[in-house]
Amino acid sequence: MLTSILVISGLAAAFGLLLGYASIRFHVEGNPVADKLDGLLPQSQCGQCGFPGCRPFAEAVACGEAQINACPPGGEDTMIAMAEMLGVDPLPMGEDGGGEIETGIAVINEEECIGCTLCIKACPVDAILGATRQMHTVIASECTGCQLCIEPCPVDCITLESIEKTTETWSWALPGSPEDIADAAKAVKNHE
Amino acid sequence: MNNTATNSKRQLWKFHGGIHVPDNKEQSSRNSIEPAKLPSCLVLPLKQHVGSAALPIVEIGQRVLKGELIAESTAFISAPIHAPTSGIVTEISDALTPHPSKLASACITIKPDGEDKWIDIAESKTNLDELTLDSLAEIIGNAGIVGLGGATFPSSVKASTKNINTLILNGAECEPYITCDDRLMREHAEKIINSAAIIKRVLGANECLIGIEDNKPEAIAELQRVVSKSGHSGIDVVTIPTLYPSGSEKQLIKILTGQEIPTGSRPTEIGIVCFNVATAAAIYDAVTSSRPMISRIVTITGDGVKRPCNIEALLGTPISELIAQAGGYSDSAEKLIIGGPMMGFTVETDQLPLTKSVNCLLVVSESEIPTAGPGMACIRCSECASVCPSSLLPQQMYWHSRAQNLEKAEEYNLSDCIECGCCSHVCPAQIPLVQYFRSTKTAIDEYNEANAKNERARLRNEARTARLEKLDAEKREKSRLKKEAMQKKKAAAAAKAAAEEGGKTPEEEAIEAAKSRVAETSEASKPRNTENLTAEQQQQIDQAEARRKADSAEPSSASEEK
Amino acid sequence: MLFRNITSPHTIRPNDVTTIMLRVILALVPGIITMIWLFGWGILINIAIAIVTAIISEAFCIKLRGRPIMPALSDLSAIVTALLFAIAIPPLLPWWQTVFGMAFAIIIIKQMYGGIGYNPFNPAMSAYVLLLISYPADMTSWVSPIVLNENPLSFMQTLAAIFGGLVPAGMTWDSLSGATPLNSLKMALNQNQMISEIRTGPLWQGMIGGYGWEWPSVAFLLGGIWMIYKRVITWHIPVSMLGTLFLFGLLFSLLDPEAYPFGLFHLFSGGAILGAFFIATDPVSACTTPRGRLIYGASIGALIYIIRTWGGYPDAVAFAVLLLNMSAPIIDHLTQPKVYGHGSKK
């Protein structure tokens, strides 16, 4: 009886010491979980999650202070990726963030732009080119579609344009996917 | 294993897999190439090649002549477009082109005027024997020549590479039904051989190999005859076994040289350049006559056309008119396939223009080529892996594509897939494997692009945050310095006051300071050296005094001048 | 003119799942006929019971999953499973055990994992092992062909035996059934008898694999070779499996001929040849890469020898196959072929 107690206690002590040593020796600086989560996020820096940027949101999720379904631009894919990484259950989108996410590129109507630089100051990724009383324009390749520039514009000259598919950006639909089924149905209809 | 023009036994290698498919080539290869009738309109897409689209340099309503440059090349990897006949530019707008997306893209539309008048082309002054690498590449680029085997890679880029030791001409034409290269080799063998000689010399290659499948005996014989007659050395006509896809560049290079192109590289990186025989013929035309490429040979076949044949047609000709020239549709026409049965795609309408990439128009009935049913469950038989020419595991790529597990699909080397269709052909469950792979390849590209964009956005955001913080910090630093300076000043003044006796009030101190300043300046402006003047100096002083008195008597003129 | 839109390639497909399954069934026929001739009507009745159970179970599951029944059943895979299972079990096995095993194979091993193409384990062998472990006495009492030779059972009598457990007048269950040659060899070896002595017994009489087992094996071998010719299966698994089994047998019998039976014996006794050509080659649960298949077959062969010689059960094909089914994914992963353009590194 005594031997078994001694043995178990001895083992517990040994493993405890080992774990303690490992936690000190192999301690990781920084917050690798937040880094990895930040890598999954779409980097629109739009603030729709309630945090001032993607990195603060990632850190909040890593600490458990934010829900993983709060990122509308990331959509369901990002939420599921985060759920997998953290080992938690996926949450339905639309609880905190919007349901349908509009993606697109901001476009400034140059006829109406007055050169006030309010949108330039609002853009979180500096994707608007311009200066005071000079024409403003959106650098299309860098625009993340976060829509933060649309509100500040005093003349409402910024719109979100959806990205049209061209022959360059089109791709074959995955067989069995909704697009594929729609394609097939359209083809049958055209033929009739 | 097989004989060459020089009758030396040449070693051939094999690639893994491959399938035997019925040729179906006799229908269209019986007759010689027909010239096309002048079409009613020509639609020329600005992008008929790999690389950047060409930029139009003509305007609507402009009259153009045959061979005139109408859109110029916009990058190193790009190609120009020329007017295939004389006429008027009627539109520069989006139009439907032969593309599986069924989307429109930018095109120049020309209405022929029926005269078919050539533009005046300055005769090339370069002696063929003195052609250099750069001048050859320039001629090819200006002529708008791209790979005519279907890949449409700009040939000028290929022709401008150094360190080439083997030139390969691809006459394999392994896909069923297509016979345009076959007829070209039978009827214009001299062009091909002469072109080979020129390109070989300019590139500095040691040998030129022309690979032809053994189901084209007449073409082989004709090319061998021309090689022997021409006396060009170093050109070998090599017969290879008929096996699909021997005509794929990677596989042909393996068969002829035993080497494999390293993944992600081009053949030029191992010293090999490969041109389709039709491209070589077009290069010969460009070099000798300086005429740009404005037409191509296209096979029109299948039991859906009344008279299968090969037509040399102007680029931009509507497909409907080409099929009409081939006798029109037969009663059993149900599907139109652009390209061959293995790699081509169906289109819904025949109101599309002929482009540089279209090598075959295949019109078939349901019985000739039945539509595959919906795929069933994969039974893991691995027939697909046994026929894959790239030695891939299509089954694994299929599972991961289906799950959209992009990393795993890439791990199984999805990017090495040449989309030849061998795997889909043999699959017992009739799974559309190639469509899975094409879709997933694009998904991987989009994913990588999105990641790169996200990374850029993150960096820009960080840079912006840093910039704003820096501005903030500078502002704060500035105000801090200002504050410090003010405080220093105050402290200095207070110290001064404490040091002086009597403790004068600040106003008295200011008056004292002002008085002492005035005394200093008046002291400074007092004339000096006024004792012991010489007589001359005294005279000058007196004259200056007199002038001064006269000036002050007329102050108005002096101030007006100012 | 307007056309229809379909996906590439646009060819007449040469292969088809139903055709493959039909060919497998055809290749089994000579062996089945031989077995019926040797073991009586029991084989045929078992086949009938198994096929009916398999079809009903599969239809039931497909209906539950909300899929159309006919396309799913028409691929004949359930019938192939039923045939293989029915050949493996003793001819006079009580009918309800056959039904139980078959239902287990189709419903749990095949359909619950996702249906055709998704089962990691071979359904027929899983059912066999289930019954072997649950009813060892019934599963190891085979009919002796020698007894049947002298007292053949008619069709009705066999039906009565299977469904009612009744034996014909004048016979007992003990007299009718007996151990397989493999089983009796194992028991005799355990009693330290010598091989040469054992082989003088009535079951052996100058045969290689034991009376009643040799001829079906030859018939299955012919069927298997025909399947390889028709490209239904590839040569990798049968050759590596039988080769390894033979090699092990040869090695050990050279070491001690009296304690270990010789190589060819192992090939022609028990279910080795049936297993090599029909069971281990089941594409869904086997390895898929060529090198993987060689390793897979060789491992099965080795395991069969080990279990037969030193293990607790007389015949080991089922166990060996199931163990390797578990290992197939990792073997596949480690034996990927060298892709074009990737040089000597993977």
- Single pTM value for the model: 0.83
> Which tokens belong to B277?
């025989």
Q: What single DSSP character describes residue B381?
A: -
Nearest Cβ partner for B379 among C3, C17, C340: C17
Architecture of the structural domain at B378-490 = Orthogonal Bundle (1.10)
- Does the pLDDT of residue B188 top 80, yes or no? yes
* pLDDT at residue number C186: 78
Chain C residues with CB-CB distance to A191 below 8 A = 2-4
Chain A residues with CB-CB distance to B438 below 8 A = 171-172
Alpha helices by DSSP H, chain A: 2-25, 32-40, 54-63, 75-86, 118-122, 178-191
Query: CB distance from B438 to chain C under 8 Å?
Result: no
How far is Cα C240 from Cα B70, in angstroms, rounded to an integer? Answer: 66
Neighbours of chain C (3+ CB pairs under 8 A): A, B
Which backbone phi and psi does C211 adopt, to 5 degrees?
-65, 130
Q: State whether B435 and A175 contact (CB < 8 Å).
A: yes
Q: Where are the domains of chain B?
A: 26-37+131-363, 378-490
Q: Which residue has the higher pLDDT, B275 or B159?
A: B275
How far is Cα B380 from Cα A18, in angstroms, rounded to an integer? Answer: 47
Confidence of residue C206 (pLDDT cuts 50, 70, 90): low
- Does the pLDDT of residue B5 top 70, yes or no? no
Neighbours of chain B (3+ CB pairs under 8 A): A, C
How far is Cα B395 from Cα B323, in angstroms, rounded to an integer? Answer: 39
B83-87, B299-303, B542-546: the lowest-pLDDT one: B542-546
For chain C, give the percent of residues with pLDDT over 70.
93
* pLDDT at residue number A43: 78
Query: CB distance from C334 to chain B under 8 Å?
Result: no
Chain B residues with CB-CB distance to C290 below 8 A = 386
Chain A, chain B: beta-carbon pairs less than 8 Å apart: 80
- Amino acid at residue number B150: G
Q: State whether A54 and B461 contact (CB < 8 Å).
A: yes
- Does the pLDDT of residue B253 top 70, yes or no? yes
Q: What fold characterizes domain A32-86?
A: 3-methyladenine DNA Glycosylase II; Chain A, domain 3 (1.10.15)
Residue C111: exposure state from Cβ atoms within 10 A (0-12, 13-18, ≥19): buried
Residue C236: which residues within 8 A CB-CB, separation 6 or more? C290, C293, C294, C297
Q: State whether C2 and A190 contact (CB < 8 Å).
A: yes
* pLDDT at residue number C157: 82
State whether residue B10 is helix, strand or coil: strand
Search chain B and give the residue with CA nearest C329.
Answer: B396
Q: Which residues of chain A form CATH 1.10.15.40?
A: 32-86
* pLDDT at residue number B505: 66
Rounded to an integer, the average pLDDT of B468-480 is 93
Q: State whether A184 and C3 contact (CB < 8 Å).
A: no
Neighbours of chain A (3+ CB pairs under 8 A): B, C
Q: What single DSSP character describes residue B66?
A: B
* pLDDT at residue number C177: 72
* pLDDT at residue number B503: 57
| ipTM score of complex | 0.86
- Does the pLDDT of residue B246 top 50, yes or no? yes
Q: State whether A187 and C5 contact (CB < 8 Å).
A: yes
The pLDDT tens digits for C275-297 are 999 999 999 999 999 999 999 99
The pLDDT tens digits for C113-130 are 988 889 999 999 999 999
Chain A, chain C: beta-carbon pairs less than 8 Å apart: 13
* pLDDT at residue number A33: 85
Q: Which of C110, C340, C342, C344 to mutate to test the interface with B (most CBs of B within 10 A)?
A: C340
Residue C110: exposure state from Cβ atoms within 10 A (0-12, 13-18, ≥19): buried
The pLDDT tens digits for B538-562 are 888 888 888 888 776 655 444 444 4
State whether residue B168 is helix, strand or coil: strand
How far is Cα B294 from Cα B82, in angstroms, rounded to an integer? Answer: 7
B293 dihedral zone (left: phi>0; alpha: psi -120 to 50; beta): beta
Q: State whether C2 and A184 contact (CB < 8 Å).
A: no
Q: State whether B438 and A171 contact (CB < 8 Å).
A: yes
* pLDDT at residue number C185: 78
Asked whether the beta carbons of A34 and A60 are under 8 A apart, the reply is no
The pLDDT tens digits for C159-197 are 888 888 777 777 777 777 777 777 777 777 778 777 777
Q: Taking an 8 Å Cβ-Cβ cutoff, which residues of chain A contact chain C?
A: 172, 175, 183-184, 187-188, 190-191
Q: State whether B350 and C1 contact (CB < 8 Å).
A: yes
Q: How far is A113 from chain B (nearest CA, A)?
A: 23
Q: Which of B337, B343, B351, B439 to mutate to test the interface with A (most CBs of A within 10 A)?
A: B439
Query: CB distance from C344 to chain B under 8 Å?
Result: no
Q: Does domain B26-37+131-363 have CATH number 3.40.50.11540?
A: yes
- Does the pLDDT of residue B61 top 70, yes or no? yes
Question: Whose CA is closest to B249, among B178, B174, B160?
Answer: B174
> Which tokens belong to B34?
């027909």
Q: State whether C4 and B334 contact (CB < 8 Å).
A: yes
Q: State whether A127 and B461 contact (CB < 8 Å).
A: no
- Does the pLDDT of residue C48 top 70, yes or no? yes
The pLDDT tens digits for C240-249 are 999 999 999 9
Q: How far is C141 from chain B (nearest CA, A)?
A: 35
Query: CB distance from C329 to chain B under 8 Å?
Result: no
Question: Whose CA is closest to C277, among C16, C27, C32, C26?
Answer: C27
* pLDDT at residue number A78: 82
Rounded to an integer, the average pLDDT of C303-316 is 86
Q: How far is C283 from chain B (nearest CA, A)?
A: 5
* pLDDT at residue number A184: 73
Asked whether the beta carbons of B418 and B437 are under 8 A apart, the reply is no
Query: CB distance from C191 to chain B under 8 Å?
Result: no
Q: CA dihedral in degrees (C55, C59, C60, C64; nearest 10)?
A: 160
Chain B residues with CB-CB distance to C289 below 8 A = 382, 385, 393
Question: Whose CA is closest to A53, among A124, A132, A154, A138?
Answer: A124
- Does the pLDDT of residue C103 top 60, yes or no? yes
Rounded to an integer, the average pLDDT of B377-397 is 93
Chain C residues with CB-CB distance to A190 below 8 A = 2, 5
Q: How far is B248 from chain C (nearest CA, A)?
A: 13
Search chain C and give the residue with CA nearest B15.
Answer: C340
Query: CB distance from A165 to chain B under 8 Å?
Result: yes
B161 dihedral zone (left: phi>0; alpha: psi -120 to 50; beta): beta
Average pLDDT, chain B: 88
- Does the pLDDT of residue B4 top 60, yes or no? no
Q: State whether A183 and C4 contact (CB < 8 Å).
A: no
Nearest Cβ partner for C288 among B372, B380, B390: B380
In tens digits, chain A (192 residues) has pLDDT values of 899 999 999 999 999 999 999 999 888 877 788 888 888 887 777 777 888 788 888 888 888 888 888 887 777 778 888 888 888 888 877 644 444 556 788 999 989 899 899 999 888 888 999 999 899 999 988 888 888 888 899 999 999 888 888 888 888 888 888 888 777 777 666 665
List residues bridging with A185 in a β-sheet: none
Question: Whose CA is closest to C92, among C137, C42, C44, C52?
Answer: C42
B94 dihedral zone (left: phi>0; alpha: psi -120 to 50; beta): beta
- Does the pLDDT of residue C149 top 90, yes or no? no
How far is Cα B487 from Cα B481, in angstroms, rounded to an integer? Answer: 10
* pLDDT at residue number A34: 85
Kindly report the three-state secondary structure assignment for every residue of chain C.
Answer: CECCCCCCCCCCCCCCHHHHHHHHHHHHHHHHHHHHHHHCCHHHHHHHHHHHHHHHHHHHHHHHCCCCHHHHHCCCHHHHHHHHHHHHCCCCCCHHHHHHHHHHHHHHHHHCCCCCCCCCCCHHHHHHHHHHHHCHHHHHCEECHHHHHHCCCCHHHHHHHHHHCCCCCCCCHHHHEECCHHHHHHHHHHCCCCHHHHCCCCCCCCCCCCCCCHHHHHHHHHHHHHHHHCCCCCCHHHHHHHHHHHHHHHHHHHHCCCCCCCHHHHHHCCCHHHHHHHHCCCCCCCCCCHHHHHHHHHHHHHHHHHHHHHCCCCCCHHHHHHHHHHHHHHHHHHCCCCCCCCCCCC
Which class would CATH give A102-164?
A: alpha beta
Kindly report the three-state secondary structure assignment for every residue of B279-341.
Answer: HHHHHHHHHHHCCCCCEEEEEEECCCECCCEEEEEECCCEHHHHHHHCCCECCCCCEEEECCC
Which backbone phi and psi does C203 adopt, to 5 degrees?
-70, -15
Chain C residues with CB-CB distance to A172 below 8 A = 7
Chain C residues with CB-CB distance to B372 below 8 A = 6-7, 13
Confidence of residue B3 (pLDDT cuts 50, 70, 90): very low
Q: State whether A191 and C4 contact (CB < 8 Å).
A: yes
* pLDDT at residue number C207: 65
Q: State whether B461 and A43 contact (CB < 8 Å).
A: yes
Q: State whether C10 and B335 contact (CB < 8 Å).
A: yes
How far is Cα C77 from Cα A63, in angstroms, rounded to an integer? Answer: 53
Q: State whether A167 and B103 contact (CB < 8 Å).
A: yes
